[in-house]
C-alpha cells in the first residue's frame, strides 16, 4: 500500500486500524487496542478501533479514530493538504499530536521492542513525516 499521510502527518497506511489494514488482518483491532493501552495508557473498545483516515471527505461520514481532533478541521479550513503546507507549522495543535519513541519509552518506563515500535509508534511519528514533506515543498 502506498503512503497515506493524514492531515497531522500520521501514516495511515502503517496504522493497524486503518480500514484497509483491517480488511487484511482481522486481529488488528485487538493488537491495536492492547498496544494503545500498554504504551499510551488509553483504553478503547474493539468497536472504537477502526478509522477511515482523516483524508476522507466529511460528506462520506468518515469513522475517525480521534473524534475531537483539532488538526483536521484546521487543515481543512486553511485549504492545505496537511500541516507541512501551513505557514504556521508547527503550531500548538499539531505539536500536541507528535509522538516520539523516546517520550513513549520514558512514560512506559523501559525500552520499546522494535516490533512494538513499528506497530505502535512509527506510524504516529508525524513530526518526522511533516518535516520531510516541508523540506520538499520548500525546494520547489
Q: Which of 47-51, 57-61, 78-82, 83-87 has the lowest mean pLDDT?
A: 57-61
Cell of 33: 487496542
The overall pTM is greater than 0.85: yes
Measure the CA–CA gap between 78 and 85, rounded to whole angstroms.
10
Measure the CA–CA gap between 93 and 83, rounded to whole angstroms.
10
User: If you average pLDDT over every residue of the chain, what do you get?
Assistant: 92
pLDDT value for 140: 61
What is the per-residue pLDDT across 30-75, written as a single tens digit (0 to 9) for each? 999 999 999 999 999 999 999 999 888 877 778 888 888 999 999 9
Amino acid at each position: 500500500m502506498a503512503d497515506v499521510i493524514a492531515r497531522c502527518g500520521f501514516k495511515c497506511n502503517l496504522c493497524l486500524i486503518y480500514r484497509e489494514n483491517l480488511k487484511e488482518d482481522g486481529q488488528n483491532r485487538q493488537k491495536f487496542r492492547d498496544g494503545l493501552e500498554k504504551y499510551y495508557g488509553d483504553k478503547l473498545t474493539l468497536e472504537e478501533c477502526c478509522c477511515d483516515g482523516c483524508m476522507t471527505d466529511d460528506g462520506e461520514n468518515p469513522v475517525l479514530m480521534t473524534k475531537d481532533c483539532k488538526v483536521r478541521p484546521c487543515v481543512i479550513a486553511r485549504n492545505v493538504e496537511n500541516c507541512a503546507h501551513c505557514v504556521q507549522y508547527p503550531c500548538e495543535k499539531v505539536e500536541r499530536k507528535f509522538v516520539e519513541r523516546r517520550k513513549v519509552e520514558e512514560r512506559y518506563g523501559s525500552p520499546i521492542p522494535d516490533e512494538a515500535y513499528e506497530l505502535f509508534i512509527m506510524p504516529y511519528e508525524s513530526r518526522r513525516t511533516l518535516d520531510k514533506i516541508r523540506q520538499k515543498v520548500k525546494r520547489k
